[in-house]
Amino acid sequence: MVNEVVDIAERAGRLQVQRRPSLVVRGTKAHVNDLVSDVDLASERLIVDALTAAWPDDGILGEEGHDTAGTSGWRWVVDPLDGTRNYVTASGPWSVSIALFDDDQPAAAVVHDPAAGETFTAVAGGGARLAGDPIAVTGPDTLAEAIVGLSFNPSPTTKQQIAGLLGRMLPAIGDLRRLPAALDLAYLAAGRLDAAVLVDTQPWDVAAGLLIAAEAGAQHGSRDPERLVLAATPHLASALVTML
């Protein structure tokens, strides 16, 4: 099953790479920095059609508006293009994110980075993988040496919150990287980051990445679900919570 989902995610990624030179921004959603392009919409259609064809009884929740309940008890949570502003402006990475839930429990996840050609996967209880090879979190013992990934919804309200958070975090950590949520968590899983801080996210932003990070050995939790999600190596988790 995971191989089939990898194929779907990689097909969406190829569409995104091919259509990037001719993309059209269709407008904004929640705020001026919340962009949606014709490629976001086309990617969700491709993914939803493929999932429906393979598993017609499953529910699907997509960022761009698709929401079907299904009858099987299984539900797919899809972010067809996580990091739209990066994609539109060619200023950073983006990804395709697909997660499968059994009722409310994560069962499988795929995060595909079209530009790098990398695909991260996980199955609950089966570990996390990059390009089919097992991955696990690694990192230093102290926050002062840690590279922390930061993801947030750039709404005016959230940016005010981030301003205060950065004041507490930057003096205490080694360095900071800003990434879209799915890749933030996937990079933690692969040992490229030591912790991830995610603020004001939505379920489709973090569904796949959290399972991949957890299966790679990260510890994570949330406060006021989706408002603040923290994930880190076991050595750093309690220190990160205390600091923030």
CATH number of 143-243: 3.40.190.80
Per CATH, the homologous superfamily of domain 2-135 is Fructose-1,6-Bisphosphatase, subunit A, domain 1 (3.30.540.10)
Q: What pLDDT score does 109 carry?
A: 98
Q: What pLDDT score does 111 carry?
A: 98
Structure tokens at 166: 């950065």
Q: Indicate if the pLDDT at residue 52 is higher than 90.
A: yes
Structure tokens at 73: 């008890």
Identify the three-state secondary structure at position 198.
strand
pTM higher than 0.85, yes or no? yes
Q: Indicate if the pLDDT at residue 225 is higher than 60.
A: no
Q: What pLDDT score does 32 carry?
A: 57
Positions of CATH 3.40.190.80 in the chain: 143-243
pLDDT per position as a tens digit, 88-146: 999 999 999 999 999 989 999 999 999 999 999 999 999 999 999 999 999 898 999 99
pLDDT per position as a tens digit, 141-184: 899 999 999 999 888 888 888 988 899 899 999 999 999 999 99
Structure tokens at 23: 């993309």
pLDDT per position as a tens digit, 55-84: 999 999 998 878 889 999 999 999 999 999
Give, in order, the Cα–Cα distances in Å from 110 to each of 74, 147, 185, 213.
16, 23, 12, 11
Positions of CATH 3.30.540.10 in the chain: 2-135
Q: Indicate if the pLDDT at residue 226 is higher than 60.
A: no
CB-based burial label for 150 (10 Å; 0-12, 13-18, 19+) = buried
Q: Could you tell me which residues are beta bridge partners of residue 127?
A: 123
